[in-house]
Structure 1
Amino acid sequence: MTGARVGLTVTHRRYVPYGHAHYAGNLVDGAYVLGLFGDVATEVCIRADGDEGLFASYSEVQFRSPVRAGDVLEVVATVTRVGTRSRTVDFVARVVCRGRPERGGSAAEVLVEPVVAVTATGTVVVPAAA
């Protein structure tokens, strides 16, 4: 499918490996999620415009809840505005599963209610249509 349109939504899921923990409590830095936003934005551009596009900027980023190693994140990007070459995209990263090391080395659970970890709004740019 090509043809940028408002409402186009792409979802990725990713397990957060323990090798990405940088802080006490197996916390992962915010840049990890921003990288995931870049990945899902790339798929948005491919689907909408047949090109990987380039991330131009964030106008807002909110770190709402910690991300930990052992989490499974659901990362969603939704196109909210389409310009000639730019697209405004809203992002949300939710924790949908969480490791529970206090119950055992490999224990984990699916969360009944996903936890919103990070939200953002960004702009991507694609080449002019041929």
Structure 2
Amino acid sequence: MSQSRAEVGLRVVHRRYVPYSHAHYAGNLVDGAYSLGLFGDVATEMCIVTDGDEGLFASYADVQFREPVRAGDVLEISCEVTRVGTRSRDLTFEVRVVARGTATAEQPGAARVLAEPLVATTATGTVVVP
């Protein structure tokens, strides 16, 4: 195995459209577990980029659900390295809503890019790599 490329400040960013099939609640709300799954995806890419391995998620801390995530949203999910240990890395996560569906009966596919993204979910976590 080659030496780790992990360094504080390294970021990985994904974008994802939230399909209507993921809405579970009134108002097309999506459950908070959806964001946690996205955090797992960016953490996996981070481990691959830094250590050539998918790694293992060890823990989440300080998960905050700040704004709703709705079906029809376009999300930006970011992961940043905040600490590098011998085998562990501390990461910060953020889900931002960058576009939102605005469907009406007359325009069922309407959507708009938000002038200011909404920070929907934040967390910190620790991953372990071999």
| TM-score bucket (shorter structure) | over 0.9
Calculate percent identity across the aligned residue pairs. 73
CA distance in 2, matches of 1:104, 1:23: 22
> Is 2:129 aligned against 1:126?
yes
- Map of 1:89 onto structure 2: 91
Q: Give the secondary structure class of the aligned counterpart of 1:87.
A: strand
Q: CA deviation at 1:28?
A: 0.1
Show structure 2 runs of 5+ residues with no match. none
Q: CA deviation at 1:3?
A: 1.3
Q: CA deviation at 1:104?
A: 1.8
Q: 1:34 aligns with which of 33, 36, 49?
A: 36
CA distance in 2, matches of 1:80, 1:115: 22
- Map of 1:43 onto structure 2: 45
CA distance in 1, matches of 2:49, 2:107: 41
Give CA deviations for 1:53-104 in whole Å, capped at 9, x if unaligned.
Answer: 0111001100000000000000000000000100000000000000001362
Q: Give the secondary structure class of the aligned counterpart of 2:82.
A: strand
Q: 1:63 aligns with which of 62, 65, 73?
A: 65
- The count of residues paired between Structure 1 and Structure 2 equals 127
Q: CA deviation at 1:8?
A: 0.7
Q: CA deviation at 1:119?
A: 0.3
TM-score (norm. length: structure 2) = 0.95
Give the counterpart letter for 2:55 in structure 1: G
CA distance in 2, matches of 1:53, 1:105: 41
Q: Give the secondary structure class of the aligned counterpart of 2:97.
A: strand
Q: CA deviation at 1:46?
A: 0.4
